[in-house]
Amino acid sequence: MKAAVLRQVGKPLEIEDVQISKPGPREVLIRTVAAGVCHSDVHFYEGSYPYPLPAVLGHESAGVVEQVGSEVTTVKPGDHVITCLSAYCGHCEHCLTGHMSLCQSPEVRRAQSDEPRLTQNGAPMQQFLNLSSFAEQMLIHEHACVAIRKDMPLDRAALIGCGVMTGVGAAIHTSSVRPGETVAVIGCGGVGLAAINGAAIAGAGRIIAIDLSPGKDNMARTFGATDFICSADTDPVKAVMDMTNGGVHHSFEAIGLGKTAEQAFNMLRRGGTANVIGMIPIGQTVSLMGAAFLSEKRIQGSLMGSNRFPVDMPRLVDFYLSGKLKLDDMISRRIKLKDVNEAFAEMKGGQIARSVIVFDA
């Protein structure tokens, strides 16, 4: 099969022939139909987060089940599925207490003594985040995908697999936004727009979108923002404080910088919660005023929207098909696998929400 391979940090991905194994007892072979180009891929591509190489990147995807292993019970050939990097075992403490996105069980991966899922001319190829969706096929654990209704377009379903689940889940699950509460979202890329949409679905009374680019104003409002602040020429913390009664109930940092995490915390009202969704590069620190904790302000991380993805993703599909979840406007363009490096460059420029690789294109 054809796959986009990262061999050296910072160097363009190469489209190469890669061999994929047959499904083990609890594994599923999927024909990839669509894969979103997510900013997390860029972090690993640039080396902000180390990863063993060579690797097939990609982790936001949807496709059709081709084969299943002998013990698979959750999907069957022909099913349309969304994949998720939050593969879960189902019986560890995290899973049993409803925190499936925190599961790190080695059961969902092949052991080092087993044949690798991906190889090239007999040599192992690293599978990225248990998925590697920049490829024509994926071989994954059955608990890394969920079946969805077949009237859902798979190019839009792919976005739910990471960015949308991460943003919507941060609002609904991690921070538990309630009707009428105030929200600020820093960064209006794909994840930030999804957080805005999630806050709107949850019934937030006021949603303030913040971005360096003034061109994101209309798009943020399409996803549910009631206000927009261009942080290129305005102090966003002061602006939020001026617009609200002493700050917001919930803030979401969707860029991945120490500075913006600090801003998210500093724009809270008493008792508010700041959620760091973005991947802050290793080595960056966040500095906060200790006295602020006396007013019960909180700052917390959010991993993949604290998801229970076998339940959440089919519901998000229903939200899209009923008009509540905005996915059409999130896709900036549809591309072929060979255009993935160009999509990385466009994403770094900050002018687009998502490019989606469509494998039939």
Q: Which residues are catalytic?
A: 38, 40, 43, 59, 162
| Token output for 336 | 């072929």
Are 174 and 194 within 8 A, CB to CB? no
Question: Is residue 21 classed exposed, middle or buried when 0-12, 13-18 and 19+ CB atoms within 10 A define those classes?
Answer: middle
Q: Hey, what's the torsion of the CAs at 43, 133, 151, 327, to 10 degrees? A: 10
β partners of residue 65: 30
Is residue 101 a contact partner of residue 311, using CB atoms and an 8 Å limit?
A: no
CB atoms within 10 A of CB 346: 17
CA distances from 201 to 77, 144, 169, 255 (A): 33, 26, 11, 22
Going along the chain, which residue ranges are E strands?
2-6, 14-17, 19-20, 27-36, 55-56, 60-68, 80-83, 118-120, 123-124, 126-127, 137-141, 145-148, 182-186, 206-211, 227-230, 248-253, 268-276, 298-301, 331-335, 354-358
Q: Is 187 exposed, middle or buried (0-12, 13-18, 19+ CB in 10 A)?
A: buried
Contact 84, 145 (CB under 8 A): yes
Q: What is the DSSP letter of 75?
A: -
How many residues are there in the chain?
361
Measure the CA–CA gap between 219 and 235, rounded to whole angstroms.
21
3-state secondary structure of 13: coil
**9 alpha-carbon distance from chain centroid:** 21
